[in-house]
Amino acid sequence: MRALWSLVLIVGIWASTAPVSADSIVERVKERGVLYCGGVARPGLADQSSGAGWQGLEIDIGRAIAEAVLSSPDKVDFHEYATETDFADGATSDDVLFLTGSEISDHHLAGLIVPGPPVFVESQGVMVSGDSDIQRLNDLRNRTVCFLIGSPSERGLNAFSDRTGYNIFRRPFSEVGEMVDAYAARNCEAIVGEITDLAAVRNEAEVRHLASRILPETLADFPVIAATGTVDAKWSSLVAWTVYTLISGERRESPWYAGGAGAMPADAPELGLAAGWQKAVLEAVGDYGDIVRRNLGPGSALNLDRGSYGNRVEPGFLLSPYLD
C-alpha cells in the first residue's frame, strides 16, 4: 500500500511540474509565431480608420499576450467579427476573442468559450451640442433624442424612459449617416450610442462645429471581455493573468502595498511563461492606464475621460486580483 501511495505521489508531482503539452495552445502559438485575436470593430478598441492597420485597446491587450508568450508584442493578427460566420469561425480558431454579453448571446457562443476578465467597460451614452442646456439624463424630458432602430442604445433609452416615466420624443433612424446628418442640422437635441462611437462621431467634419459633449451619466454599462476557447484551461488562465497584470500593474507602489509588476505576482512556469514575464509585458505595452491614454483618453483622437472603464484604483469598474 505504501508503494502504491508513493507511486501516486510521484505521478502527481510529475503532472504538476510537467512542461506544457505539445498540443497546448501555448505551443501552437509558439509554433505558429503569431497570436490570433478577434472582435467587433469599435473606435478606440479595434479600429483601422487611421489607415495604419488595426489599432486600439484590444490590439494592445493582444500585444501584451504576444509578449508574454512569444517575447514580441508585434506578433498579433487581429480579425474583425462582422458576420455570423466570423463569430462561428472565431470561436474555434482565434486564440483570444473580445466579446460583449450580447455578442455571446446573439451568436450562441456561451458553450464554446470561457468568459474571461473584462478588458473594457463600454457604456450607452448621450451626446449633446456644447451649447445645449442638457446637463444630465433627467434633462432629456420632453427633448428630441435620436437613435438607431434595433440598437442596444434604443433599448437603453426606452428603459430609462420607462423607469423614470419621462416623456422623450424619440426619433428613430436606420442609418448612422442619416442620424449624424440630423444631429449636425440640429434636428436632434441629443443622440444616443456607445460612448466610443459617440466620441468618433464628435470628430466627424459635419459635427465638429457643434463642439459636442458626452454626458457623464450613462444609460447602461457593460463589459467587453477577453474570452478563450474551452479546449485548454491553461491557455484561459494565461490570458486572464496577462489582462490582470495590465490592470493591477496600474497600481502604484507605496510603503504599504506593492505596485506595478509586483502588485500581483503570477509566476507561472506551468503555463509556459518565463520568469519575469510580467515585467516584460509592462515594459512592452505599458499598464492598463497607459493603454487607455493612448487609445481613448485625453490626448487621443477620441479624447474620452475615464469613467466607468476606469480602474478601481481611480474610481471605475475594473478590478483585478492584487496583494491585499
Q: Is the pLDDT of residue 279 over 90?
A: yes
SS3 at position 231: coil
Residue range 251-260, pLDDT digits in tens: 888 888 888 9
Q: φ and ψ at 79, to 5 degrees? A: -115, 135
Do the beta carbons of residue 223 and residue 247 sit within 8 Å? no
Q: Which has the closest alpha carbon to 194: 140, 157, 143?
A: 157
SS3 at position 127: strand
Q: Which has the closest alpha carbon to 290: 280, 300, 302?
A: 300
- pLDDT tier at 310 (50, 70, 90 boundaries)? low
- pLDDT tier at 187 (50, 70, 90 boundaries)? very high
Confidence at residue 179, expressed as pLDDT on a 0 to 100 scale: 95
Do the beta carbons of residue 238 and residue 229 sit within 8 Å? no
Exposure string of 294-322, with b = 16+ CB inside 10 Å and e = fewer, is bbbbeeebbebebbbbbbebeeebbebeb
Amino acid at 66: A
Confidence at residue 299, expressed as pLDDT on a 0 to 100 scale: 86
H or E stretch at 15: helix 2-17
